[in-house]
Structure 1
Amino acid sequence: MLLYERLANQLRTQIAQGSLRAGERLPSIRQLAHSHGVSIATAVQACLELEREGLAQARPRSGYFVRAATPPLPATRPTRRRTPGTVSNPMLQDVLDMLARSDLLPLHSATPSSALLPQAALTASLSRCLRHTPGAALDYAPPQGHLTLRRLIAQRYAQVGVTVSPEEIVITAGAMEAISLALRTLTQAGDVVLVESPTYHGILQAVAALKLKVLEVPNLPDRGIDVARLEQLLQQNTVRAAVLVPNFNNPLGSLTSDHDKQALLKSCARHKTVVIEDDIYGELAWSGQRPSPLRRWDRHGNVITCGSYSKILAPGLRVGWLVGSDWTDALLRTKYFSTVGSASLPQLALADYLQRHDLQRHLRQLCRALADNAQRMHQAVAHDWPASTRACTPRGGLSLWLQLPGMNAQALFDAALREGIGTAPGTLFSSRGEYTDCLRLSCGLPWSKALDHALRRLGQLAAKHVA
């Protein structure tokens, strides 16, 4: 047995015996190395092994903590949509009514609370732009977006090893407009589009609005996109585009490995399937180590990357972007003929903020808060929900995905609404309303007594709706 395996086994035993309990901090890397007579690298490898098993969780600048002991989700789950078909999920129509409500504890919204975002600094940036450049702030923006902001976006990509020119970037009204523009540019009604299952309901709505057919590839808990199945589907079907969320998929929070990212890009290029990458959660790695976008591994110019500031800075400013590669001109024409251009003031304000403040410092604080929230929620579920509850163990993003075998998620959703608690039933994340025993909760709310009470109450309601 290797040294790191011995150390991991000792920590595993302490967790199993209760010497190290859920939520408690593991000894620091230096303490482990010193007390066990091993190197720093060996101690790190042991902690990474526990993290891969779902027994521990890394928190930025805080160390490793013991995870709550809920059973993991099954490694695989059958996806019944094996042939292309239309989106036929009536629940997708109901989500707008829920989003419009302001009286709910918003566990249904995968958005960080305003308390976790730099409101004062952004307000100051908005005020500065209105005071100093009112003409530009209140006038039309160039269709492609303000150059200063596009340069800042390109610089951020450079920091994660991705070369992007500002001339490839088109500013949009959030990532959803970016995805919709890409689909409108690449596809025609009746074309087949590959999506993950489960996937974000907004992607399914965009596909349905354009009268496209959908083909679902499994997204596996703790592994991400099923690359082998993706290759099979591409061999069997002509697929025009694939809308993929490889970094902290919503709702599972799963992360696709770099190896699998490269493999899926090769498959898509070989079958002439354009990849529309939704990288909106890529900056929300709880460990502080941002995973690479698909674009980093693209060797065929076959990826359109969509991003947004909505999940990291300001949801209400609605500023996103496309990195269009060879499709930039076509995407820009589609943008111009739909909305002409995005609003000037939000673009200028975000550029002002990014030039004056350390985005990386804010991201560290945000990711640390999200990791803490998720761990507390995990503990609450393990303590107060039915023993059969299974949970994903994400390493980033804003989602906690739960499965209760035999549960009616729709009935739980309705019961929670009556008590002022918003949830997102699993049926929302499938083109045909599958995942009826699952739900997604948001990790974006700071921990509070109200949140603790809501999770306990949800556990009680869940127990009533398990067959």
Structure 2
Amino acid sequence: MLLYQHLASQLRAQIAQGSLRAGERLPSIRQLAHSHGVSIATAVQACLQLEREGLAQARPRSGYFVRAASPPLPATLPSRRRTPGTVSNPMLQDVLDMLARSDLLPLHSATPSLTLLPQSALTASLSRCLRRMPSAALDYAPPQGHLSLRRLIAQRYAQVGVTVSADEIIITAGAMEAISLSLRTLTQPGDVVLVESPTYHGILQAVAALKLKVLEVPNLPDRGIDVERLELLLRQHQVRAAVLVPNFNNPLGSVTDDEAKQALLKSCARHKTIVIEDDIYGELAWSGQRPAPLRRWDRHGGVITCGSYSKILAAGLRVGWLVGGDWTDALLRTKYFSTVGSASLPQLALADYLERHDLQRHLRQLCRALADNAQRMHEAIARHWPSSTRACTPQGGLSLWLQLPGMNAKTLFDEALREGIGTSPGMLFSSRGEYADCLRLSCGLPWSVALDRALRRLGQLADRA
């Protein structure tokens, strides 16, 4: 056995025995080298080995820490709606009530903290646009959106291997308006729309508002959209559109792999089902390797891709977009008859920011911070929550999905609200309020004493719920 393997074996045994617990810092590289009589290089190799095994995590300028381990979620989650039906989930109203509150620690909000976003640079861009082009900034924007921003969006897609023309991009007020416009353009009341289960509650609200019927396809924690079930459902039912989140699904954080994405598109093309792709989390790959959007493999003009700057730059600017393809003209008419156009100043400011700053560098920093936040939260949950708690281990996005067998997450949600902590109970993420023992937390808040205290308190509440 090589020296670094021997050292790694000793550290592994200490972790297994509990001498080194989840979240605790490993001895520094110098301490390891000195106490075990090995070189610095050997100590580094030992820590890297533990990192490869998933037992340790490196934190910038802080050293190596023991990773949290929790029982994995089952390979499948319940999805009982096998026939189309209306959205009948009274908890969806509770979301609106909670969003109106400003006094909560926002573990319910899948949005990065402002401290992780380039506030100063964006403020400078806003000021510069008002100073240098006040007429354009304060006037109506073109219904399709400012060309300067649409070109930059098209360029970003080109960088990830997707060919998009600025002429098929429509600027919207966030990704939710893009999804809503797509549904309004494609469907009539009573049409059937396929969604994942679990899925983001905003998608369910949009479907309900348009009086559409919903059909649910399972999203699996380990592999994303269940493509085999999707094909079966499309054979059995006439489905007009499918609203899907293949990259870092909210709430599971799962990713549908490239092979499954291509099979999914072939199934939808065969059954004449238009795909509305919500790719809002695609840029938030913690590894830095962005998964490709469905648009990359669309050969039949059957995908409308929706995106947004809300999760990566500034939620409050409310700038999103859709890539309409063959549907661009129809979508633009829907947009014009709805809101005429989106606000000018945010579009111009974002274009100014993107032209002056390295977006990829910002994304690397943001994704590293989110990954670190998520790991620290996992560690706190392993320390303070019931031992039966199970957790997804996403590789990107903003969500941590937990399962607490035998517990009603609505009870925990209510008690947490009384203590000023926002959470998202699992029932919000299905059309009929399933996942009663599940909970979604956001990893968008930087680690802090207040966050550690809140997770400890949630663990105490979960223990008695």
TM-score normalised by structure 1 residue count = 0.90
Counterpart of 1:281, as a letter, is Y
User: How far is 1:464 from its partner?
Assistant: 1.2
Shift in Å at residue 337 of structure 1?
A: 0.4
Offset at residue 299 of structure 1 (A): 1.7
Q: Distance in 2 between matches of 1:319 and 1:21?
A: 43
TM-score where L is the length of structure 2: 0.90
2:270 maps to 270
Counterpart of 2:362 in structure 1 is 362
Of the structure 1 ranges 220-229 and 452-461, higher mean CA displacement relative to structure 2 is found in 220-229
Q: Does 1:178 align with 2:215?
A: no
Do the aligned partners of residues 208 and 419 (structure 1) sit closer, same or farther apart at CA in structure 2, a change above 3 Å counting?
A: same
Aligned residue for 1:307, secondary structure, equals strand
> Is the CA contact (8 Å cut-off) linking 2:170 and 2:332 kept in structure 1?
yes
1:411-426 to structure 2, matched below 5 A, reads 411-426=411-426
Instruction: Name 1:327's counterpart in structure 2.
Output: 327
Q: Secondary structure at the match of 2:170?
A: strand
Q: Which runs of 5 or more residues in structure 1 are unaligned?
A: 1-7
Deviation at 1:222, TM superposition (A): 2.5
Partner-residue secondary structure (3-state), 1:286: coil
- 1:4: which partner in 2? none
CA displacement at 1:340 relative to structure 2: 0.3
Separation in structure 2 between the aligned mates of residue 282 and residue 27 of structure 1, nearest angstrom: 35
* Matched residue type, 1:239: V
Q: Secondary structure at the match of 1:130?
A: helix
Whole-angstrom CA distance in 1 between matches of 2:132 and 2:352 = 11
The answer on whether the counterparts of 2:195 and 2:242 sit within 8 Å (CA) in structure 1 is yes
- 1:59 and 1:286 in contact (8 A); partners too: no
Judged with a 3 Å threshold, the aligned counterparts in structure 2 of structure 1 residues 62 and 329 are, in CA distance, closer, same or farther, namely farther
Question: How big is the shift at 1:16?
Answer: 3.8
Q: Does 1:110 align with 2:87?
A: no
Q: Is the 8 A contact 1:60 1:286 kept in 2?
A: no
For residue 402 of structure 1, give the secondary structure of its aligned residue in structure 2: strand
Letter in 2 for 1:452: D
Structure number with larger C-alpha Rg: 2
Structure 2 residue 383 is the aligned partner of structure 1 residue 394: no
Q: CA deviation at 1:78?
A: 2.5
- When the two chains are superposed, the root-mean-square deviation of aligned CA atoms in Å is 2.7
Shift of 1:69: 1.1
SS in structure 1 of the partner of residue 85 of structure 2:
coil
- Residue 201 of structure 2 is aligned to residue 192 of structure 1: no
Structure-1 residue corresponding to 2:297: 297
Q: Does 1:313 align with 2:329?
A: no
CA distance, structure 2, for counterparts of residue 297 and residue 62 of structure 1? 41
May I ask how many residue pairs the two structures share in their alignment? 448
Counterpart Cα distance in 1 of 2:221 and 2:12: 21
What's the CA shift string for 1:241-282, capped at 9, x where partnerless?
Answer: 110001100001111111111111111111111110000000
Deviation at 1:67, TM superposition (A): 2.9
CA distance in 2, matches of 1:445, 1:72: 24
Give CA-to-partner distance per residue, 1:150-181, whole Å, 9 cap, x none.
Answer: 00000000000000000010000000000000
1: CA distance, partners of 2:99 / 2:384: 27
Shift of 1:402: 0.5
Change (3 A) 1:82 1:350: same
Q: What SS does the corresponding residue of 1:170 show, helix, strand or coil?
A: strand
Distance in structure 2 (CA, Å) of the matches to 1:69 and 1:282 = 26
How many Å apart are 1:298 and its aligned residue? 1.4
User: What is the CA deviation profile of residues 51-81 of structure 1, one whole-angstrom value per residue up to 9, with x for unaligned ones?
Assistant: 6xxx566889999975301111111122110
- 1 CA distance for matches of 2:51 and 2:263? 28
Q: Do 1:79 and 1:197's aligned partners in 2 also have CA atoms closer than 8 Å?
A: yes
Taking a change above 3 Å as real, the CA distance of residues 367 and 26 of structure 1, as seen in their structure-2 partners, is farther
CA contact (8 A) 2:22 2:382 kept: no
2-side partners of 1:11 and 1:277: how far apart?
Answer: 45
In the superposition, relative to structure 1, how do residues 63 and 308 fare at CA in structure 2: closer, same or farther (>3 Å)? farther
Contact persistence 1:89–1:431 (CA under 8 A) = yes
Q: Alpha-carbon deviation of 1:12?
A: 7.3
